[in-house]
Amino acid sequence: MVAVTLMWSIAGVVTRHLEQARSFEVTFWRSFFTLLSLLLILPALRGRAVFGAVLRGGRALWISGVCWSVMFTAFMVAILLMPVANVLVTMAAGPLLTAVFARIFIGHHIAARTWAAIALAGAGIAWMYGAELAGLSPVGLAVALCIPVAAAANWTVVQHSQRHGHAVDLVPAVLVGAALSALATLPLAWPFQASAHDLALLGLLGLVQLAIPCVLVVYCGRVLKAPEIALLGLLEVIFGILLAWAGAGERPGPAVLMGGALVIGALVFNEWLGWKEQQ
């Protein structure tokens, strides 16, 4: 799981070294190479039956696929419009937003500790953006917020389906998400401007930053508890900020560091107490 978060975190620093590819072309090529990688990896791991799972997956799998496609697309567009650290900290609020969605749409109880964590994380995000709002793109902020919203909708749909006896296989859902993202951004990416150097980097992102870790995290979920995955997943924020700082000279401001510390602290607090309660 630590290796998964390290692979997830390379997107920001790699994107900063692109030469000619911009905006939706970046998103298209990463999604295309993710799709291509999964089309090779999944049959090797599961056989050709995995494609049948896509067709038999039902409405929930396709809704999950749409959510994945929004996350794939919004993330790449957001890090081209805003500093990597701001996007990663915004993404980190996803688990707490999921708790709110689950409460509203499927009636899950939210513990007092989670409400406290939501308030603390909200304060951290407000601090981060309030101090830098004048220098940030409002479009970038809106796009970045689409990531945790789509993540929360995704997990709410998955939980709702599981409660009704229809488990969603997330690996085919990721495959669907990559395909939808590539199809949606293809018209916006044309005409292509990416150099061979850019295609090599975007191919790296498709394989190493998305396809491989998305498959691995499903296997991690079979041996790790949900709080363990949530806590280890926060390493993506730390790794991503450090890599963008060291590899692209993108130094986060004090407000980002303090706001990010509040968000991560809130998540650690909530997941650790939840873990203790389960034990």
Domain assignment of residue 264, given as a range: 2-278
- DSSP class of residue 134 equals G
Return the CA Rg of the chain.
18
Task: State pLDDT tens for residues 14-46.
Answer: 999 998 888 899 999 999 999 999 999 888 887
% residues pLDDT > 90 (the chain): 33
**Total domains in the fold of the chain:** 1
**Average pLDDT of 6-13?**
93
**Average pLDDT of 227-238?**
79
d(CA 169, CA 158): 9
d(CA 188, CA 191): 8
Q: Which of 3-7, 19-23, 70-74 has the lowest mean pLDDT?
A: 19-23
d(CA 199, CA 197): 6
- pLDDT in the model for residue 134: 59
- pLDDT in the model for residue 32: 96
Judge whether residue 59 has pLDDT over 70: yes
Determine phi and psi for 136, rounding to 5 degrees.
Answer: -110, 155
Mean pLDDT of the chain: 85
Reported pTM: 0.85
Task: State pLDDT tens for residues 78-110.
Answer: 998 888 888 888 888 887 788 888 888 878 787
Judge whether residue 203 has pLDDT over 90: yes
- pLDDT in the model for residue 213: 92
- pLDDT in the model for residue 28: 95
- pLDDT in the model for residue 180: 95
